[in-house]
Amino acid sequence: MKKSFLEIIRCPLCKSNFDIHADVEREDDIIQGNLICIGCGEKFPIDNSIPNLLPPELRSK
């Protein structure tokens, strides 16, 4: 996920902005990590540069 996407994506639960916790990154790309909502605190995983913005109850384990 490009770091610049943080400017346009919002939490699907409460519509707040995200903080990012990157475990693996390359230049401007987040490869592995989490988006953390600053409003409700929900975590959304980033895997292989793809953020999963599905609500927790719809994510597959």
Q: Distance (Å, rounded) from C-alpha 22 to C-alpha 4?
A: 14
**In this predicted model, what pLDDT tens digit does every residue of 12-60 receive, in sequence order?**
999 999 999 999 999 989 999 999 999 999 999 999 999 999 988 888 7
Distances (CA, A) of 37 to 20, 26, 42, 54, 60: 9, 22, 5, 13, 20
Count of CB atoms within 10 A of residue 1's CB?
Answer: 22
Question: Is 33 exposed, middle or buried, given 0-12, 13-18 or 19+ CB atoms closer than 10 A?
Answer: buried
pTM for the whole thing?
A: 0.88
